[in-house]
Amino acid sequence: MTDVAPSPLKKVLANAGQLLSGRVVNAIIGLAYIALTARSLGAEMMGVLVIINAFAQFLGEVAHFQSWQTLITYGAGPLLENDKRRFQQVLRFTLLLDLISAVLGILLGMLGAWFFWRQLSWPEGMNGYGALYALSIGVMTSASGVGLLRLFDRFRFLAAEQAISSFVRLVGCAICAVTQAPIQYFLLAWAAGTFAAFFYIAAIAIWDLKRKGLLSGFTVMGPTSKDLPGVWRFAMATNFSGTLDVGFTHVLTMAVGALLGPAQAALWRIGKQVADGMAKPARLMVPALYPELAKMRASGGQQAMTKLAVQIALIGGAAAGVLLLVSLVSGRWILETVMGPGFGAAAGVMNWQVAAAAIGVMTLPLEPMLVSMRAAGAAMMVRLVVVLTYLACLVPLIRTFGLTGAGAALVASALAMAIGMYFMARRRLARLAAEESSAPRPT
């Protein structure tokens, strides 16, 4: 008997399930080290730490080329065709992107920490520690290893990435809490987690490449973008779109800290941590979705892409409703139980953050579809318009309504993003259908 290949939906859900196993552990450990940090440092110094971390992560995203998307989009075809030379060229190109990202990110981080610490509401003497923390940007920006493991369906190894990072942070924060260490040692513990995750992914990716024989004959020197049409444009578009997506989150934390102070920034960051943790299980379908859509696109399966996206959207919609209900009913209890009574005040803004996350969960297949159809520029334009509009309104909203204003605007921006991505994806699918119908049929 021949084995029946699993359907794309089953494959996405299976891979997402493998990621979920690690992320559940990560969510628990992540809340534990956040709670240790908050209880040890208090709201004020916890706010300083999260602002420094947000600063480093924001600059990491600014410099980050999202090389994993380039590797999956341009490497799926050569991998399916067993074209080792072309696959190695794509890998060489994405490693070059990672190197550029690391150098640029560290440089921006160290200079920014040294010269703009006052504007970021850091206390006197924290600029040097912030500059040292910026060294972790170099490993935040490396994504080729993640792309390789996603392309090879090695999601069970990816599942442990963030759990390892959080576990290292938990051990470090526990030592700091017991010894009553100052904030700089907590920063060291958080940075150590970032480095641990990088070395873990790099080791697994190299092992997998050797196992598949894809390192045989590979050299660092050689062609990169040659005969890869539009690859630089694609890399720049995904970089900018990724910067707007993830970096946007860290800009909000820094803006809240600058306008309302570190204590309010801590409430915003803790609410966001819990909201993201609640939405994480559904969002895990996205990294599992990219490789399947890329393979469908490489084999000309536009109708299958649409069917899969609709199925994922329906599952996401059901998950989104549950998320919002849990937040509204139990949000304050969750915060006070985990973080302490003083952090229950974050419940109000967390409801807005969960609502925004729920909208994103319902529409999560849209951007992966656009990227897989090599329309990353369209996704980038939608994100750019929405983010610029939000940022233009952010300062007056925070000054007038505080955290509530920032949260309500976050919901509005999530809704606008969803509508824009939907119309762009619909337009792109119609164009592909027209191209297929006008193509000459073989006789």
* Residue at 119 is within a domain: yes
The residue that leads in pLDDT, 419 or 300, is: 419
Determine the pLDDT at residue 246.
62
- Is residue 107 scored above 90 in pLDDT? yes
For the residues 116-129, what does the mean pLDDT come to?
Answer: 82
* In-domain check, residue 439: no
| Residue range of the domain that includes 197 | 8-432
**Residue 443 in domain:** no
48 domain residue, yes or no: yes
How much is the average pLDDT of 374-396? Answer: 81
Number of domains in the chain: 1
Let me know if residue 25 belongs to a domain.
Answer: yes
What per-residue confidence (pLDDT) applies to 48? 85
- pLDDT score of 324 more than 60: yes
Of the candidates 129, 66, 134, 67, the residue with the CA atom closest to the CA atom of residue 106: 134
The string of DSSP letters for 321-387 reads HHHHHHHHHHHHHHHHHHH-GGGGGGHHHHHHHHHHHHHHHHTTTHHHHHHHTT-HHHHHHHHHHHH
Query: Domain for residue 45, yes or no?
Result: yes
Residue 2 lies in a domain: no
Is position 440 within any domain? no
More confident residue, 162 or 126: 126
Q: Three-class SS of residue 261?
A: coil
Query: Residue 413: is its pLDDT beyond 50?
Result: yes
What is the residue-averaged pLDDT of the chain? 80
For residue 384, pLDDT beyond 80: yes
Indicate whether 1 pLDDT > 50. Answer: no
Characterize 348-364 residue by residue with b for buried, 16 or more Cβ atoms within 10 angstroms of its Cβ, and e for exposed. bbbbbbbbbbbbbbbbb
